[in-house]
Structure 1
């Protein structure tokens, strides 16, 4: 990933003399460090080797490098990201024109390999609905936002003031978004995108999603240690939004297969045995459950399609019909996260990436947001 990463950073439309780029690697990651050493890096680059130690997580590495950050603004990119060249300028202009309590701006993450598999297609639906529909609306309403793990632009002073990232939280972005809100800051969004490729295999997708669920569980448990204080700090309505965004996601994912099993059991009683076994109460329950489940599927697909361009919708095709299977996989990841939270809470399951199959021209990237 190193050549692609340096190429996209070199294309940023910002004076090189005003950039302070930290390439953060584990000190024992010899392959990546060797790949970086083989490239002619400009003077704006600095390689930060993070000493091995527990916990071995991305937020721990970020926190290690944060103290050396020299810029007024700071943005995080993952190694696989392909960044719109004008994203830094848009973030800077938005910060300069916005209120001082805006501490973070989230750029949209756009999936570019939706054609490859049904998993990447539904991942594209998910990201389009989240980053281009839901998060902008939360930002406009000045409500708490779970940040993405990349392409979030910060005021460096504020980030240092709130303590940076929690090194023990394996979904550090969601934790930081909620913590910023609790401390009186707000998050916003911008439009210039960052392009990524989604996992295309079940094993890679499950590993990544299990880590995300584990971090969401950690975030919910930490914030809910003192519920009354949380309500005082955030306000009642924002606290309800937090419960829906984080707690609701966890609960619905854990309960999803149980609801399907319950519907199956009632349907068997209603249609497979004598009709009198299932009374009006059971029939009402099955109707309510079916409406809730298929209504949730419909909202998922509608949000995704609303956030996509026509080209993205064409690339994803009709694989939205596989949404029930995607949700069952999410449930499997949620249950695995519950088990892992007890057995290996701070383990960071890395997601393997590859260079993008299609490079985007700068003019194409600028128009896709």
Structure 2
């Protein structure tokens, strides 16, 4: 029988059965870590039991409650796993520690802990440090980036010219329209040109043949060669989904002892904290209670945990995420293959509840277009992209070097994607799926969309503060692409109802002209007359209306083509009938964009929280079948095929 490693063998004297320790020792040899890491990470022995036993074995006091001295630093004390205690007398221990495997071995070989030495558990030490430095941690999480690089943060809001510029432009346009003939026509043609370029850019992404899964077979890396991987999961009012979230993370094909999973909970969110506590999670899972502070945003929570990330790589998941089990292994292989200039990988986000509601089905089409066609295509073209809100895999060193996330931007993912590009760092595509839950209720979806659009506007304002700097870093082509991707997305959403009205007006006018016009020459005159009336010709000249309608048609065609290609790649042909409803969906997107503009003006840092884990409304297809049956019954005088009318 093989001897047990020193850092766990002492547990035999404290009631832990030998088979459990042998299991930990075998797994430790495969993973290349200390046996105690396996034992604790997998929950084979609880942290409280392990450290109490260790304290007894080395004759050191075990502290269930810790009061730290003022010289304790964050994050140094947590990273070093030791801190100086507040002095309470000559017999009080001076130092508290949570020994790792090597330190445990050294203590046990010494036989007795040094004088003034106490032991506690990592969660107790972490809570004590956070309690001592709550205000500092909150300040650092919110202000580190804007203090070091204010030009990359939205904390100080837009510059004066960015506030008054749109009003000056609108006033000049109105005066020009009234005083100078053709002003509106020129403005309309410029707007149409922008939208045509956007449509062309989206169309170009279709030319890149991008798979939804890796084309090449990746050799399975042995566990001993895998690095530690940090997983950050911000949670707010997510008590209902904590258990399935933990189950999904535990199912990842990655050694649990090499996972550094941090569940981030806001200080006031007692229900989510209680749900986590009830699960009695192993040491691979840490609960980070984010101190109270402003702004109350997801990026602030991420920044609070970033200094504690132990992994070479860090990924962000949302509460409802269900990543492919091999996603972390694929990411490690991609980072190793691509080289150190690759700072981030964006996995594919896929909606898994598209059958729950019509809005979820349309959302699934939008996500398929964005993550299976547009974003991978843009990356193949060498352009930076606004990242998705989850499944962003980073080199931890690169993430720390750029100052983490902007706590003042409510679409922190879009911002950090463009910031990486502006700093010369590369983003790559990771063809691995993370399944997400789409909102199934329109008000929830609308609040989420308003936040996204507000964040896009914040990102645009940040990256247009200093156009010369942006041009110097990205170059003209990439700068224009970034402004089009972010600003053009919001502008097209805001103007979509007008474009739709113009397009429909031109179609109706053309139909009226064709029906009532005489042949040949009279047809053109009649078409102009009807179209001029339909498009309100005095404010919008007829040639501009024609150009706008054509631009709208081109844009819709590009949208539909991208969506069709995306559904084919994702093998979701069941969603193809929903493509006919995309214009209606885009009207809703416009409503969200206008609400986002309103929110930006009145409450720029407010975070519209998307609630997850809600029971969906009755599934879409059964509901449609029921309505169709009721309609047939009504049209048939109360009879449904095969059934007599009720008495």
Same fold (TM over 0.5): yes
Q: Kindly indicate whether residue 532 of structure 2 is the aligned counterpart of residue 292 of structure 1.
A: no
What does residue 41 of structure 1 align with? 281
What does residue 479 of structure 2 align with? 239
**Which aligned pairs between 1:153-192 and structure 2 lie closer than 5 A?**
153-192=393-432
Name structure 2 gaps, 5 residues minimum. 1-240, 517-524, 617-647
Q: Kindly indicate whether residue 497 of structure 2 is the aligned counterpart of residue 257 of structure 1.
A: yes
In the alignment, the residues of structure 2 paired with residue 10 and residue 45 of structure 1 have an alpha-carbon distance, to the nearest angstrom, of 10
Quote the offset at 1:96 in angstroms.
0.6
1:11 to 227, 251, 266: 251
State the Cα deviation string for residues 129-176 of structure 1 (Å, max 9, x = none): 111111112222221111011000000000000000000000000000
Structure 1 residues 10 and 267 mapped into 2: Cα distance closer, same or farther (>3 Å)?
closer
Task: Tell me which of the two structures has the higher relative contact order, counting C-alpha pairs closer than 8 angstroms and 6 or more residues apart.
Answer: 1
In the alignment, the residues of structure 2 paired with residue 341 and residue 147 of structure 1 have an alpha-carbon distance, to the nearest angstrom, of 21
Q: Kindly indicate whether residue 585 of structure 2 is the aligned counterpart of residue 326 of structure 1.
A: yes
Quote the offset at 1:117 in angstroms.
2.2
| 8 Å contact from structure 2 (residues 502, 549) kept in 1 | no
**For this pair of structures, how many residues does the alignment match?**
357
2:563 to 290, 304, 316: 304
Larger Rg: 2
What does residue 346 of structure 2 align with? 106
| 8 Å contact from structure 2 (residues 503, 553) kept in 1 | no
State the Cα deviation string for residues 253-276 of structure 1 (Å, max 9, x = none): 111112233445667777499936
What does residue 382 of structure 2 align with? 142
SS at match of 2:276: helix
SS at match of 2:563: helix
In the alignment, the residues of structure 2 paired with residue 294 and residue 201 of structure 1 have an alpha-carbon distance, to the nearest angstrom, of 30
TM-score (norm. length: structure 1) = 0.91
In the alignment, the residues of structure 2 paired with residue 186 and residue 71 of structure 1 have an alpha-carbon distance, to the nearest angstrom, of 20
Alignment RMSD: 2.3
State the Cα deviation string for residues 80-128 of structure 1 (Å, max 9, x = none): 0011110000000000111211100000000112222221111111111
What does residue 572 of structure 2 align with? 313
| 8 Å contact from structure 1 (residues 118, 322) kept in 2 | no
**Which aligned pairs between 1:187-206 and structure 2 lie closer than 5 A?**
187-206=427-446
What does residue 366 of structure 1 align with? none
Quote the offset at 1:201 in angstroms.
1.5
Structure 1 residues 269 and 97 mapped into 2: Cα distance closer, same or farther (>3 Å)?
closer
Quote the offset at 1:312 in angstroms.
4.9
State the Cα deviation string for residues 53-91 of structure 1 (Å, max 9, x = none): 110000000001101111100000000001111000000
State the Cα deviation string for residues 243-297 of structure 1 (Å, max 9, x = none): 1110110111111112233445667777499936457995543443333223322
What does residue 139 of structure 2 align with? none
In the alignment, the residues of structure 1 paired with residue 256 and residue 500 of structure 2 have an alpha-carbon distance, to the nearest angstrom, of 55
SS at match of 2:405: coil
TM-score (norm. length: structure 2) = 0.53
**Deviates further, 310-319 or 42-51:** 310-319
Structure 1 residues 32 and 179 mapped into 2: Cα distance closer, same or farther (>3 Å)?
same
What does residue 119 of structure 1 align with? 359
